[in-house]
C-alpha cells in the first residue's frame, strides 16, 4: 500500500532565496530544491504514513528579546506499527545553517522544546542527510512503482530469485532468460519489484546491475 500524504499549512509557500517552488503530487508544496528532494524521499519511504508541510507556527524570543513567529518546514508521521514518534523538521543548506547560526539558534531551540512537549522529535535536515544514494535510488525507482506488470511474471521472477537465494540483477536476468532481448524486457519487472519492496537490497548504496538482491520474506 502506498503511503498516504496530506497537507495542512500554517503559512503559505512563497518565493524565497534559493527558491525552486513547486509541488510533489499527493504530498505538498516546496520552496527550495532541498525541500523538494526531501519530499521525494518521503514519498518513496514506505515507513512514512504522512507529511504535513508547515504544520504549526510558534513564537520565540530573538537575541534582542523580541517575540517573533516561526513556522518549521514540516512534520512527518510514521506508520503506527513502527512506533516512531512524529518528526518535526527544518530544512537548511549547511552553508545557511553555518552563516545564520546566531539568528537560527533561538527559534530552532524553541522548536525542539515544543516538539519535546508534544512527544515529537525535532531535527534540522541538510543536504548531507537528504542528498544521499537513497535519494538517487528513490527518484529512479519511483518511475517503476506503478509499472504495469503481470502477476504471473512477477511471481516467476521471485521464484527464480528465491531459488538462487541471492543474486544481482545481471545474474537474475541470465537465470530467467538466455536471449538478451528477453533479459532486457524483464529488467523493468525487477525494478518494479524492488520499488514495491518485494525484492530487497541495500538502497543506501548506489543501485547498479551488480547490487545484491533477494526476495523479501518467504514466497
Look at residue 63 in the predicted model and tell me its pLDDT: 85
pLDDT of residue 23: 64
> In which band, very low, low, confident or very high, does the pLDDT at 22 lie, cut at 50, 70 and 90?
low
pLDDT of 13 > 60? The answer is no
Q: Give 175 or 28, the one with higher predicted confidence.
A: 175
What's the mean pLDDT when you consider all of the chain?
Answer: 89
Q: What would the pLDDT profile of 178-191 be if each residue is shown by its tens digit?
A: 999 999 999 999 99
CA dihedral 202, 205, 211, 212 (to 10 degrees): -30
The pTM (predicted TM-score) of the whole model is 0.81
Q: Which pLDDT does position 24 carry in this prediction?
A: 66
Whether residue 99 has pLDDT greater than 90: yes
Q: SS3 for 48? A: strand
The residues near 111 (Cβ < 8 Å, ≥ 6 apart) are 58, 60, 70, 72, 88, 90, 122
**Residues 100-116: tens digit of each pLDDT:** 999 999 999 999 999 99
Write down the pLDDT at residue 211: 98
**pLDDT over 90 (residue 118):** yes
Per-residue pLDDT at 15: 36
Tell which wins on pLDDT, 169 or 22. 169
Banded model confidence at residue 217, pLDDT cuts 50, 70, 90: confident
Distance separating alpha carbons of residues 135 and 41, to the nearest angstrom: 6
Taking only the tens place, the pLDDT of each residue in 78-98 is 999 999 999 999 999 999 999
Strand-pair partners of 199: 215
DSSP codes of every residue in 94-160: HHHHHHTHHHHHHHHHHHHHHHHHTT-EEEEE-HHHHSSHHHHHHHHHHTTTT----HHHHHHHHHH
Per-residue pLDDT band at 28 (split at 50, 70, 90): low
Enumerate the β-bridge partners of residue 53: 74
- CA Rg, the chain, in Å? 21
DSSP annotation string for 15-38:
--TT---EEETTTEEESSHHHHHH
Amino acid 27: pLDDT: 66
Q: What pLDDT, on a 0 to 100 scale, did the predictor assign at position 11?
A: 44
Copy the grid coordinates of residue 174. 541470465
Amino acid at each position: 500500500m502506498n503511503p498516504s500524504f496530506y497537507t495542512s499549512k500554517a503559512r503559505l509557500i512563497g518565493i524565497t532565496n534559493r527558491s525552486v517552488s513547486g509541488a510533489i503530487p499527493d504530498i505538498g508544496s516546496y520552496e527550495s530544491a532541498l525541500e523538494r528532494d526531501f519530499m521525494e524521499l518521503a514519498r518513496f519511504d514506505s515507513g512514512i504514513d504522512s507529511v504535513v508541510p508547515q504544520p504549526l507556527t510558534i513564537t520565540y524570543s530573538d537575541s534582542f528579546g523580541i517575540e517573533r513567529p516561526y513556522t518549521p518546514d514540516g512534520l512527518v508521521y510514521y506508520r503506527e506499527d513502527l512506533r516512531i514518534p512524529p518528526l518535526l523538521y527544518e530544512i537548511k543548506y549547511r552553508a545557511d545553517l553555518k552563516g545564520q547560526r546566531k539568528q537560527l539558534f533561538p527559534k530552532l531551540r524553541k522548536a525542539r522544546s515544543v516538539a519535546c512537549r508534544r512527544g515529537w522529535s525535532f531535527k534540522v535536515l541538510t543536504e548531507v542527510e537528504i542528498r544521499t544514494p537513497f535519494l538517487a535510488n528513490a527518484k529512479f525507482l519511483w518511475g517503476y512503482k506503478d509499472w504495469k506488470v503481470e502477476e504471473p511474471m512477477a511471481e516467476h521472477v521471485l521464484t527464480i530469485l528465491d531459488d538462487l537465494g541471492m543474486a544481482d540483477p545481471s545474474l537474475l536476468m541470465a537465470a530467467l532468460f538466455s536471449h538478451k532481448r528477453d533479459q532486457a524486457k524483464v529488467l523493468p519487472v525487477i525494478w518494479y519489484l524492488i520499488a514495491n519492496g518485494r525484492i530487497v537490497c541495500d538502497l543506501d548504496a548506489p543501485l547498479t546491475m551488480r547490487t545484491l538482491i533477494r526476495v523479501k520474506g518467504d514466497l
